[in-house]
Structure 1
Amino acid sequence: MTNGNVRRVTGKRVCFIERPLFLQETPATGLTPHSPERSPDRNSRFWRALKNVAILSVAFLLHSSAHGGTVGMQSSVNAAASTGTTALAVASATAWAAGCGVAASGTLRDLASGKWALGVSLLAAAPYTATTTMMPDAVVLLPAAALQGVATAILWASQGAYLAARETELGGSTADRLSFSMFFLAVHSGDVCGNLLMSTVLSRDQPSVPANFSDMVSCGFDFCLPPEDNSNVNLWRPPQRRLSQVGIAFLASVVTASVLVALFLEPVKRVEGEEKRKTAGAEAGEGDVRCLDAPTHVAVLRQMASPYQILLVPLTLFAGMEEAFLHTDFTQAYVACSIGISNLGYVMACYAVASGVGAVISCFASGYFAEGRSSLLVIGSALHGGLVIVMIVWTPRADHAYSLFIIASLWGLCDALWKTQINVIYEAFFPDDPTTAMVVLWLWESAGYALGCGLSVPLCTGVKLHSLLVTLLIGLIGYSVVESYHSGYCRGKKAHK
Structure 2
Amino acid sequence: MYVSMGSWTLASIMERSLKNVLVVSFGFLLLFTAYGSLQNLQSSLHSEGGLGVATLSALFGAVLLSSMFFPPIFIKRFGCKWTIIGAMSCYVAFSLGNFKSSWYTLVPTSVLLGLGAALLWSAQCTYLTVLGNSQARKVGKLGKDVVNKYFGIFFFIFQSSGMWGNLISSLVFDQTPNKEFISDYQLMSCRAKACLMSTAASDTTTQPSQKLVYTLLGIYTASGVLAILLIVMFLEPIEDNLPNSEGEEKSPPFWSILLSTFMLLRDKRLCLLNLLPLYNGLQQGFMSGEYTRSYATCTLGIHFVDYVMICFSAASSLCSLLYGKISQYTGRAVLYVLGTVTHLSCTVTLLLWQPHPAQMVMFFILPGLWGVSDAVWQTQNCVLYGVLFEKNKEAAFANYRLWEALEFVIAFGYSTFLCVSTKLYILAGVLMLAMVAYGTVEYMESRSLTQLSAAGGRSQAVEGETQTQM
- TM-score (ref. length: structure 1): 0.74
The equivalent of 1:128 in structure 2 is: 94
Contact 1:59 1:257 (C-alpha < 8 Å) held by counterparts: yes
Deviations 1:207-264 (A, max 9, x none): 3444745745633421415338x8842x3433333333222211221233334445x3
2:60 aligned partner: 92
In the alignment, does 2:312 pair up with 1:351? yes
- SS across alignment from 1:206: coil
Aligned-residue Cα RMSD (Å) equals 4.0
2:208 corresponds in structure 1 to 238
CA contact (8 A) 1:72 1:344 kept: no
Match of 1:226 in 2: 198
Residue among 111, 134, 145 paired with 2:78: 111
- Other structure's SS at 1:395 match: coil
Q: Deviations over 1:297-317 (max 9, x none)?
A: 554333313333333333331
The structure with the greater share of residues assigned to helix is: 2
**Which SS does the other structure have where 1:401 is aligned?**
coil
Provide closer, same or farther for how the CA distance between residues 109 and 476 of structure 1 changes in structure 2, counting only shifts above 3 A: same
CA distance in 2, matches of 1:485, 1:90: 38
Q: 1:461 aligns with which of 420, 442, 452?
A: 420
Q: AA paired with 2:95?
A: T
C-alpha distance in structure 2 between counterparts of 1:390 and 1:76, whole Å? 28
The answer to whether the 8 A contact 1:195-1:349 is kept is: yes
Indicate if the aligned counterparts of 2:342 and 2:373 stay in contact, CA closer than 8 A: yes
1:156 aligns with 2:121: yes
For 1:449, the equivalent position in structure 2 comes to 408
> Cα 1:487–1:243, aligned 2, differ >3 Å: closer, same or farther?
same
The residue type equivalent to 2:196 in the other structure is C
Q: Deviations over 1:300-343 (max 9, x none)?
A: 33331333333333333112211122232223222223222222
Query: Can you list the C-alpha shifts for 1:466-490, whole angstroms capped at 9, x where unaligned?
Result: 2212212222333333334443454
**1:253-264 map, 5 Å:** 253-262=223-232, 264=233
1:432-462, Cα deviation, whole Å (9 max, x unpaired): 6555433333332332233334432444433
Pick which of 344-353 and 390-399 moved more.
Answer: 390-399
TM-score normalized by the length of structure 2:
0.78
**CA apart distance, 1:137:** 4.3
Q: Note if contact 1:188-1:356 (Cα within 8 Å) is conserved in structure 2.
A: yes
Is this contact kept in 1: 2:277–2:400, CA < 8 A? Answer: yes
How far is 1:86 from its partner? Answer: 4.1
Partner in structure 2 of residue 419 of structure 1: 378
Distance 1:194 1:354 in 2: 15
SS of equivalent residue, structure 1 residue 237:
coil
Q: Is this contact kept in 1: 2:279–2:431, CA < 8 A?
A: yes
Alignment of 1:19-38 (within 5 A): 36-38=6-8
Letter in 1 for 2:223: S
Q: What residue is the counterpart of 1:331 in the other structure?
A: 292
Pairing 1:127-146 to 2, within 5 Å after superposition: 127-132=93-98, 134-146=99-111
- Does the residue aligned with 1:346 lie in a helix, a strand or coil? helix
Residues of 2 paired with 1:490 and 1:52: CA distance? 33
Relative distance call for 1:335 and 1:258 in structure 2 (3 A) is same
Q: Is the 8 A contact 2:166 2:310 kept in 1?
A: yes
SS at match of 1:227: helix
Gaps in structure 2 of 5+ consecutive residues = 458-470
Percent identity between the two aligned chains: 23
Mapping 1:277-296, distance limit 5 Å: 290=245, 296=257
CA distance in 2 between counterparts of 1:434 and 1:66 reads 28
Kept in 1, the 8 Å contact 2:147–2:383? The answer is: no
CA contact (8 A) 1:165 1:268 kept: no
2:41 aligned with 1:73: yes
Q: Which stretch shows the higher mean deviation, 90-99 or 80-89? A: 80-89
- Structure 1, gaps ≥5 residues long: 1-31, 272-276, 279-287
